[in-house]
Structure 1
Amino acid sequence: MLKRCIFLFFMLFALFAQSQYETDNVVIKKDSLKRKAFLQHLGQGYFPTKYLNLDLRYLIKYNQYEGIRTGLGFLTNDDFSEKYRVNSYIVYGFRDHRFKYSIGGGFRVLESTNTWINLAYTDDLQETGSTKFITDGRHFQFFEPRLLNITLFHKHITKSVSLEHELHNKLLLETQFAVSKIEPTYNYNFNVNGNSYSNFDITTAKASLAWSPFDIWKTTNENITHKHGYPKFSLQYTKSIKNAFGGDFNFSKIDFKTNIKIGDEDNAFSEITLVSGLTNGNAPLTHLYHAYPNNINKETILQRFSVAGLTSFETMYFNEFFSDKFATIQFKHFLKPFYISQRFKPQLVLISRYAVGDISKPEQHENISFSSLNKGYTESGIELNKLFFGFGLSLTYRYGGYHLENLDDNIALKFTFNISL
């Protein structure tokens, strides 16, 4: 009888221990999942709270026009609502002494295709010559190197309505109708048939497609995992309509982008990025292309020392080129990281970039001087990344059709910054 009682005691103890072990495992797994989700939110630039995800992009930035720019933004999450969302921000520039803000929201009309209708009112700045694909996923950097030295911005007040719709989990369509009041912050006039515009209204309709044919989606234990595959493609058409809601100009734009990645990120791999754009009609400088320059207009190499971007031309000076048609191709080859210690793994990257473009009516753009890219622009260099707290060094050389007479003017020496959560 005593033996049976002892045996029963040990059986109950074993069951309790197993149950406690499984409970601890569940807690650990839940904590691990929560931590992973939290880091994913931070990696996308959000600090999650119960009903709102605070947008870290607006906390603090710096540029040549606003000086320090600081503020706060948010996006409601699924705990707030799975059918409705609100996203807004407000920022203040200490050099131009202006508040900028956006108020927006959306509502889902069809769950099976993740179809949303979005509305927004925005009063802010935009870099002249920049093009955004409205289907682009959210990208977050702890700081944006190019932003530090941009000098040409235009103010815009934009009212927009858009529709986003998943034709397939690998094919996203987004359309947008927008009315904008544009005011350049620099001395500029756009001359069309003898009429000179220092500010203007633009009404646009856009359609954008993002296709990721090699992405892999898996559903396991009610969890959906997404693995990126390459290449990825984006195509966008923009039509500016004169006289519609006060629009001043007729022009159209078609933009294309593809990202290719070859190899394994744990070893050696390559990245190729191709971007092109074509504008037809009377488009002001604000809506042309600048080819992603990232070099300061200073005399010496050390005076131009700054931080290299991820997809910018490091030896191309700001406002040096504008085009109404252009194409760029960028090639990066990442060698396998050098394993010096567990925490010190620097990585060498070989880089080459090429841009070509042209502009049909440069005389329309008054009070500003720039060149064409019709000779073809070439630069190559190296990066040695992750030397110290995510920082590294970049050395780039400009050659070919736009090689400059002074040797120093062709060289860009900069920091790099690479960190991921």
Structure 2
Amino acid sequence: TLLGVLDRTATPMGARLLRDWILHPLRDLTALTARQDLIASYLAEPFLLSKCREALKGIRDIERTTSRLSQGSGNARDLQSLGVSISHIPSLKQDLSSLPDAPSLQPHLCSRLHEFQELTEILSQALVDEPPAHLRDGGVIRDGWSPELDELRNASRGGKDWIARLQEDERKRTGIDSLKIKFNNVFGYFIEITSTHLAKVPDDYTRKQTMANAERYITPALKEMENKVLGAEERSKQLEAELFAQLRSQVITHLPKLQETAAAVAEVDVLCALAEVAQYHRHCRPVLNQEKGFFINNGRHPVLEQTLTDVKFVPNDTELDPETARLQILTGPNMAGKSTYIRQIALIAVMAQIGAYVPADSATIGLVDRIFCRVGASDDLSRGQSTFMVEMSETALILN
């Protein structure tokens, strides 16, 4: 498809915008010329094009992320993803502003690329590098961000260390090497001793549960420490949820600028992608006007020329002049390329009217307001099979 050929975008936002551009070509000559000018600037500065592409690769889906956060459904990974994305905006903006000859679209895009230095620092300092998917799992906020949270975590970790030491001490005291201190949601922490060592159980152990091959016990000291550990864990998770809500609220205060930045990033991404396609496949800048002529010199099918591997695509000229050639009737044998030729003309018109360069040596195109077509869609151009050829092949398969 045309979208598949042109889609060299680096961000999900850019991919969606490119699809929208192809579905809604423009007739605004000023807007189209502005897009062409920026693509021309990128082609003249391939180093800046590659730098912008690198910056874009680090930007994730700001548009969808901010939408989830504003609706209250975003999680810690969304915040972390947003922080990483906006950290790349300054370098993208700098590379874009470095383009020479300042095409008209450049200052407009730069003004919409907002920098969020303070928010970037807050998110990078507050969140761990790889937060869990669910807030209830804890471990979202980085150590050192909240003194109160650090204190609760230290209490929880200290308690667990105490329990680990208690296990070693009880093994030595009782002489039961298989003694283990375990935890579950029903009983909390307990001491588990296998049936073969029940004779060695001290008098200060209180039986809690009998299993098939073991018995479970508790002690007053163990339950006291359990209350401290579980209380600290529960409070730390509650505090993390509060801190996360505060961070999300801070992000939402920047929502209009974040959305504007996302839209600008998407546009830069699409224009960089179109520039790269033009660079790799030797596309030319079409001359657009409000007249009714359509002139293509050595035009090529934008999809087919990239999918053909065994043979080289043969270019074709097109001349539609309102004075001398308003209508053309195309005839020829099966598999001569008639369908390919008329599709090629339509696709070139669409490409020109999204602001892209076109696969031709030169092109002068009067802007069109609609394209009508009725083409047999059962052919297989990539294999050189016309509609008739496909129908005959299927018939032969049935008969044989």
Give the structure with the higher percent helix. 2
Give the structure with the higher percent strand. 1
Greater Rg by CA: 2
Higher relative CO (Cα under 8 Å, sequence separation at least 6) belongs to: 2
Quick check: TM above 0.5?
A: no
TM-score by length of 1: 0.19
TM-score by length of 2: 0.20
